[in-house]
Structure 1
Amino acid sequence: MTAKTPAAKTSRTPKVPVPGKATINDIARLAGVSKKTVSRVINDSPLVKPDTRAKVHALMREYGYAPDPQARGLAFRRSFLIGLVFDNPTAQYIVNIQYGVLDALRDSGYELVVHPCDSKSEGYVDGIRRFVQQQKLHGVILIPRVSEDEALAEALRAIDCRYVRIASVAMDEPGRMLVTHDRSAGAEAANYLESLGHRRIGLITGPKRYRSSIERGEGFVDALAKRGIQVPPERIYEGGYTFESGVAGAEQLLARPDRPTAIFACNDEMAAGVYKAAQRMGISIPGELSVVGYDDSPLASQLWPALSTIRLPVRDVGRQAAGLLLTQDAAPAAVMTAVTPHLVARDSCLPPQAV
């Protein structure tokens, strides 16, 4: 009977991770360092040698490894997630705000989480509170109209959540506010139309529950009043910041026997609706009707004739709001952060035709 020979030992080749699916353990093994060292590299710890740091970063890029912000938050007892909370019907505005926030967060280690809501629904403040607590957010950016809700701001303060409010007027302490000066922008639109010689002027506002709508509309009407021009209630239409409401408002204003020679629509989507209504009614722009919008969204230059509008640098607003949130703990702002809109004159306005 022959003795069994012991089985030869087989060498195991370390498993190579699939790009995009590597874990922190894979990166540590490939770099020949501990998991703790990789974690220190991720969080820019000064305790790692430069050559080790470079090697780990190179492997992370090669294998597409990206640390989980929630896992980082657990490890460091703080969150790396920023929330963007909004109730706004203008899709392009939201997209531009997001781009601006992402500009500010790039290379910061923070990630963006978006949370649309309906501020008209019951319990929406509680829903936002749950969102903040469940995601363990570092802080939130609030844009109109939710930024104008004091009950929401109080709820966030009660759970010690950092926040920045983007609004047309100052509504909080400087470190928590970015102001967009909508009233002065409305006045600039009024002064421009008056300078062209318009006296019969219509106004399509946003919803009254939006502070931005009030500020833009009142700024416009007050500036005209100072120049001796009245905008009677019958030449003011409350829209909804939507294309459809712009169509409806323009149809009502332009059907009047004393129809306006110019219309200020409080955002570009409603201004586009004015174009549609004017086309249906055979009214030429700018020959018979001058139009001014608000926001200077991509739509403004795509319309024909190109729309004169108030330029609000929305992407810059998002970038500054995120920057304010990230530095809130280190150095609370003593001066209110503000962005000032201004008029961009294009081809949609001319002096009124002689009657």
Structure 2
Amino acid sequence: MPPNRREDGPPDLAGKAATINDIARLAGVSKKTVSRILNRSPLVRSDTREKVEKLMREVGYVPDPMARGLAFRRSFLIGMIYDNPTAQYIVDIQYGALDALRDSDFELVVHPCDSRSPDYVAGVRRFVQQQKLHGVILVPRVSEDQALCDMLDAIGCRYARVAAVSLEGPERMVVTHDRDGAAEVADYLQRLGHRDLAMVTGPAAYRSAMERTEGFVGALRRRGIELPASRIVEAGYTFESGVAAAERLLRGRNRPTAIFCGNDEMAAGVYRVALRMGLRIPEQLSVVGYDDSTLASRLWPPLTSVRRDTRDTGRMAAAMLLQPESAARPLASVRPHLVIRDSCQPPP
């Protein structure tokens, strides 16, 4: 019987967390053998592997990622760097990344930043180097910053970019095709008979906002409808900014019959103003959002919105960092599509 093992249970470690040395001693094997088992080496006999893995389960042994990082001269950490005001979007990206990292030995660490700060690239550099990250997921808007990507290249840190359009080679990109999603909204509203339309767009600094605006305006133009500049209001991808934009668009008697919002948070702001003004949705005003977040189905009436599988986007980006750098692969894409609910109908 291995030392320190109780007759009726797992080895007694006197309340201490087991180390790799403890596992080797209790199993009667070398530390190198335990290390090989942890790293799924085929050079270990199956009976030895089963015995050691059973022992690790009994004592609740969990490998120390920092110690493993020192041994392999790299960490087992994937970073996620973001500057994005939409909380649900960030949460969904994280869930997707965690889906990809499950059972991989890697963990996710997040780093919010302010891309408007003059030293934010230096701050990201410090974060990456202090954590010795294996790689990073870049979420819009920071994914659109070439200076940030150049810095990561300079320090030898892998990255995967999530963006509305392709910004570089397929080995580093997950493309969300925002222009196509916005064009589908324009086609849908035109088919319903709307010609007096408006748009609440996101911040001009975001490529996603530009792509959604150009996709919507361009699709309307192809159908013979010009959207005046006065009908396009820039907001901040937040509920409060959606309220302010709606107050501009809905004041007075010459109101649009339909409003397309660059995300669901801003669409909820339009709902708030319409309710306050006594405008019925969709009888007097049709509203469409973007993202198809959980908020869309909870509004009343439920919001028609463009769905892009954000969780799948995060999964693809994280999976990209787990593959060998030399692996050739096609461009990763997440295609948007319109989910029709009850917030739109033909104009009055």
User: Could you say which TM-score interval applies, normalised by the shorter chain?
Assistant: over 0.9
The one-character-per-residue Cα deviations of 1:48-89 (angstroms, maximum 9, x if unpaired) are 221221222223233322212221121112321111000011
Matches within 5 A, 1:63-212: 63-212=59-208
Question: Matched residues in 2 for 1:301 and 1:134: separation?
Answer: 41
The one-character-per-residue Cα deviations of 1:251-274 (angstroms, maximum 9, x if unpaired) are 111113210111100001111111
Q: Among 312, 320, 323, which residue is 1:324 paired with?
A: 320
Higher Rg of the two aligned structures:
1
- Against the structure 1 CA distance between its residues 149 and 19, is the aligned structure 2 distance closer, same or farther, given a 3 Å change threshold? farther
Counting matched residue pairs gives: 341
| Runs of 5+ unmatched residues, structure 2 | 6-10
Which residue is equivalent to 2:273? Answer: 277
Q: CA deviation at 1:27?
A: 2.4
Further displaced range: 247-256 or 310-319: 247-256
Question: Matched residues in 1 for 2:341 and 2:16: separation?
Answer: 47
- Against the structure 1 CA distance between its residues 231 and 328, is the aligned structure 2 distance closer, same or farther, given a 3 Å change threshold? farther
User: Partner of 1:316: helix, strand, or coil?
Assistant: helix
Amino acid at match of 2:131: Q
The one-character-per-residue Cα deviations of 1:142-182 (angstroms, maximum 9, x if unpaired) are 01000000000111111111111100011111111111100
Amino acid at match of 2:164: S
Which residue is equivalent to 1:41? Answer: 37
Question: Matched residues in 2 for 1:327 and 1:318: separation?
Answer: 15
Contact 2:81/2:110 (8 A) holds in 1: yes
Q: Among 310, 335, 340, which residue is 1:340 paired with?
A: 335
Which residue is equivalent to 1:292? Answer: 288
Contact 1:20/1:63 (8 A) holds in 2: no
Contact 1:81/1:113 (8 A) holds in 2: yes
Q: What is the TM-score normalised by the length of structure 2? A: 0.94
User: Partner of 2:118: helix, strand, or coil?
Assistant: coil
Question: Matched residues in 2 for 1:105 and 1:352: separation?
Answer: 48
Question: Matched residues in 1 for 2:328 and 2:122: separation?
Answer: 27
Q: What is the TM-score normalised by the length of structure 1? A: 0.92
Which residue is equivalent to 1:311? Answer: 307
Q: What is the aligned-residue identity percentage?
A: 66
| Runs of 5+ unmatched residues, structure 1 | 1-11
RMSD, aligned α-carbons: 1.6
Further displaced range: 53-62 or 204-213: 53-62
User: Partner of 2:186: helix, strand, or coil?
Assistant: helix
Which residue is equivalent to 2:344? Answer: 349
Question: Matched residues in 1 for 2:32 and 2:270: separation?
Answer: 61
Amino acid at match of 1:119: S
